[in-house]
Amino acid sequence: MPMLHDNSLCLSAHDELYRIDLNQVLYMQADDHYTEVYYASGIHFMVPFGLVKIEAQINAMPEARLTHRRLGRKFIVNTQRIFRINTTKELLYLNDDAGNSLSIHVSKPVLRGLMDYIRQA
């Protein structure tokens, strides 16, 4: 059962515990019933939980709910890492810790919704 700890998610399954530092997350990507977590440092790892479970835990955390947003069926992104949105090319650009940019493909309607969300924040 997932548990909360400071600005981290502590997720346990069977005989394992996964601690996800939300401050370090660039984005999370669905992979069937698993989720691939990508940190700003370049580290990435897989956890045996779907995005629905992770999203529910994030939504239970007031600060994380403001900075981590679900984008379509495939992603949860750290909105503080976004520096560019290109709806024409359907790309979302994120900055890592080294100042490099990383792009992920997101559909045009989802990106437009994200732009509206950011404008209102």
Contact 117, 69 (CB under 8 A): yes
Interatomic CA distance for residues 8 and 21, integer angstroms: 4
Looking at residue 2, what is its pLDDT?
46
With cut-offs at 50, 70 and 90, classify the pLDDT of residue 121. Answer: confident
Interatomic CA distance for residues 94 and 119, integer angstroms: 17
Looking at residue 71, what is its pLDDT?
97
Taking alpha carbons only, the member of 80, 109, 75 closest to residue 97 is: 80
Does the pTM exceed 0.85?
yes
90 φ/ψ sector (left φ>0, alpha ψ -120 to 50, else beta): left
- Percentage of the chain with pLDDT > 70? 96
CATH topology of domain 3-120: OB fold (Dihydrolipoamide Acetyltransferase, E2P) (2.40.50)
